[in-house]
Every structure is written in C-alpha cells, then in structure tokens.
Amino acid sequence: MDMKIFRNKFLLAILIGCQSFITSCNLLGTNTGNQGGNNTATGGGGLKIGALMPVTGDLSFIGQNMPKAAQLAVETVNACGGVNGQPVTLIIEDDQTDPVAGSAAMTKLAEVDKVAGVVGSFASSVSAAALEIAVRNKVMMISPGSTSPVFTERAKKGDFNGFWARTAPPDTYQARALAALAKKQGFNNVSTVVINNDYGVAFEKEFVDAFEKLGGKVINKDKPVRYDPKAVTLDSEASAAFANKPEAVAAVLYAETGSLLLQAAFKQGLTKGVTVLLTDGVYSEDFTRQVGKTADGTSIIAGALGTVPGADGKALEYFRRLWAEKTNNTPITAFVPHTWDATVLLMLAAQAAGENSGEAIKSKIREVANPEGVEVSDPCQALELLRKGEKINYQGASGNVDIDENGDVVGVYDVWKVKPDGSLEIVDKVTPNK
C-alpha cells in the first residue's frame, strides 16, 4: 500500500476517536465552545462548523493563519450570544494541501462530527474532492480561496445543489487582471507555465484568452507548459517555459514546486531580462526565501509582479483592530479576511434560518450576503438584527461578499512586487474586465 494513503487512513482512524489536535490546541487562547462537547449540527444541538485548511503541505505558508481567522470569528459570535441561542462549535482539520487527506478530513467532519457547514478548503483540488462528500451529506461549504473557474462551470450545471460558495473571486477575474497587468507593463509576447491541476489549467486558459483579446501574444499557446504537482525536478519545464525569448512568463504556481521551477530557470540563465508574473498562490515572503538569492544577496525573482485578491470591505478596519488585539499584532496575510467572512456568513445564515443544518444555511446564505437588507459589518450587530426578524446585507472585511447564483463574488486585485531583498510590497491595484 502507498505509504501516503496508509498515513491518511491511519490519521482518519485516530481523528474519528478524538477531537482534532489542532482544535484542542486553542489557537487564540480562548474558549470557542469546541472542547469536548456532544452537540450535533441538527435537532436541538448548537451549530457545529468545520474548517478545512492547508496547515501543512505546499500551501501551508498561506494556510497557517486561516484557522486563526475562523476561530476568531466563532469566538466573537459566542461572546455575543452564539447562534440560535447556543454557542457555536468549531472543529479545525488540516487538509495537508492534498485531495486524499482533504477527503478523509471532510468525511470526518461531515459523517462523524456532523457539521452543518465548512470553511474551506483553500486549494481548488482539495475543495473539488471534498465537495463531493459535502454535497452528499448536505453540508454547506464556503471557500476563502478556491478560485478555479471549474466551480462556476459545475455550479451552472447544478452539480453542487447550492451547497457551495466562496468569498474570493474566481480566477476568471484574476486571470483577466493578470492579463491587464501584463499589457499595462507594455508586454506583447509572453509565455505561460502552470501547475497541472484545476487551479493552474483553468487560470492558464482564461489568461490566454484575456491577453489575446488585449492584443498580446502567448508564444507557447500551442505547447503549454504544465508541471506535475508532485515533481521533484523541473529543469525541462523551466527550459520550455522560458524558451523563445518571452518578455514575461506568467507563472501559476504553488510555493514548494514553483520555487524549484524558478531556481531551475535561474540556474540555466533563463531569467535575465524576463519579468515573472505571479499569482495569489505564491504571495508570501516565505516563497521568495524558498526561491533563493543570487551571490550578491539579491532575490532571484527581484522585480517579479503578481496579483492577489485584495481586501477592501467595509468591515476591514473593524477586523484589523480585532485581529491585532487577539493575535498580538500578527500580520494579516492573504485570504485571512476572506476566511473571517466565510465563517461569519455560515453563522449568520444559520441564525437567519433559525436552524442549525446545512440545508438551512444553504437556504439563507445569499439572503444574508446580498442587498435588500440592512447593511451591517459587525457580526454581533448582524446577529441582533436577525434575532429581531430583520433582513441584513453583510458587508465583509474582504469585500461586499455579494454572492451570485453560482456561489461567486467579484473582487478587486492588489498588484504586488518582489523587492531586491525578497520582501513584497503592494504597488498598485487592477480591476479585471468583466
């Protein structure tokens, strides 16, 4: 038996018999109501929600703070009366940035813990695998970062039966934003290289279409470079991606494998004079450190530009103050506001429905997120309005989180740049063409 599969089955067996280790660690140092309770997600018990996050694996550098945001949201709501008169229980699971591990964790959350909703996952490949289990068990999933356009296409077909939404916009928009950035920089001839999964391939397709509509040329369009997510060497892929002298290379990567690819390109002398265009999947100084530096201490990818879903919601300042207070001024990393919003929306929808089930949350998720209700950013104020029978329009930290019939939102994108020392700075904003 494959050792990785054996490990995942072993972990699942342990997790079925006990509370998740990461949950019992009490990430923020206060009680979230998830210690040893026997509440269920339906009937007379309090609301139970799960968080499925990449605490380890290829996206762990982004995922580390996501559980803290979910837990902070639950603690905030429990401090002002909980949902439907009872405290909310949060159970956090590590999906290891792996669809197999994510499926095992989702099975535990849905079939053993009996959660009504799940915040997560982040990786599109993990969410795709977990969604099958969620839909079958009527569990509402809200992802803070699975951005593949495949989810929109499947939602249109009715595959998810309404049990899916996300607080980060799909890559349909981010790919257009990256294409707009490339043209704004004056690039006319670019190449692409992407991780070969739902996220990378769908992003590549949308980027190519958008860049060509803007008058640009993707010089490897007929021979796209897509690398294996499990690869340990990427020399040939790097050579192919940087061939034929592109002005820029649009690289849709994950950190561990992406750093290998860019190191390989540098060692082959291919990066000189070529701007690397990056995306949200590697928006972290941990990534630039993994890529490494030249002999004189300059980042190998100094000058690289990227896009990442921005946070510009009416609740952002409120969230920043609360986050700073509760996490000892830990920096707010990418997708943390989106995680907060996803968690809050699950709880508000359950309160609006007056019932702690996945079907009830599904029935009210768009109502609490979209216009026609009272605009409100503070979750406690929102809950109080709902308890009085009023309708609300939750305004999030990440944005207005207006969720459409496919579970999608539209957002604004920050443009980030890698400085010579490897640090990152936001240098602009770009809005995609719809």
Phi, psi of 275 (to 5 degrees): -90, 130
Closest CA to 83 of 38, 39, 18, 131: 39
Q: Do 196 and 83 fall within a single domain?
A: no
Domain match, 13 and 160 both: yes
Segment-wise mean pLDDT, segments of 10 residues, the chain, 434 residues: 43 40 40 35 72 94 94 98 98 97 98 98 96 98 94 96 95 91 96 94 94 97 95 95 97 94 97 96 92 96 94 92 95 94 98 98 97 95 98 95 93 91 93 68
DSSP state of 234: -
| DSSP-assigned states of every residue in 271-326 | -TT-EEEE-GGG-SHHHHHHH-B-TTS-BTTTT-EEEEE----TTHHHHHHHHHHH
Residues 318 and 357 in one domain: yes
Question: What integer pLDDT is reported at residue 23 of this predicted model?
Answer: 37
Q: What is the pLDDT of residue 434?
A: 56
Query: What pLDDT was estimated at residue 10?
Result: 42
78 and 166, same domain (yes or no): yes
Q: Are residues 378 and 279 in the same domain?
A: no
- For residue 402, being part of any structural domain is answered with no
Tokens 């590549």 label which residue?
204
* Residues 269, 157 share a domain: no
Residue 399 inside a domain? The answer is no
CATH of the domain at 36: 3.40.50.2300
Distance of CA 165 to the CA centre of its chain: 12
Give the total number of structural domains in the chain: 2
Radius of gyration of the chain (CA): 21
Say if 119 falls within a structural domain. yes
Instruction: For residues 145 and 288, state if they share a domain.
Output: no
Are 158 and 207 part of one and the same domain? no
Contacts (Cβ under 8 Å, ≥6 apart) of 338: 144, 145, 167, 168, 309, 311, 398
Are both 215 and 249 inside the same structural domain?
yes
User: Based on the domain organization, do 333 and 390 belong to the same domain?
Assistant: yes
Quickly count: other Cβ atoms within 10 Å of residue 26's Cβ: 13
Contact 313, 341 (CB under 8 A): yes
Quick check: is 358 in a domain? yes
CA angle, corner 362, sides to 357 and 364, nearest 5? 100
Pairing of strands 374-376, 305-309: unpaired
Domain that residue 16 falls in: 3-170+313-394
Model pLDDT, residue 412:
75
In a domain? residue 32: yes
Cα 206 from Cα 196, distance rounded (Å): 15
404 falls within a domain: no
Residues with Cβ within 8 Å of 314's Cβ and at least 6 positions away in sequence, in order, are 375, 377, 395, 396, 400
Same structural domain for residues 45 and 118? Answer: yes
Rounded distance between C-alpha atoms, residue 153 and residue 74, angstroms: 32
Estimate to the nearest angstrom the gap between the alpha carbon of 166 and the chain centroid: 8
What pLDDT score does 433 carry? 65
**Residue 230: Cβ-neighbour burial (10 angstroms; 0-12, 13-18, 19+):** exposed
**Strand 189-195 versus strand 248-252 pairing type:** parallel
Distance, first Cα to last Cα, the chain: 48
The reported pLDDT for the residue numbered 171 is 83
pLDDT at 34: 39
* Residue 107 backbone dihedrals phi, psi, to 5 degrees: -60, -45
Q: Are residues 417 and 286 in the same domain?
A: yes
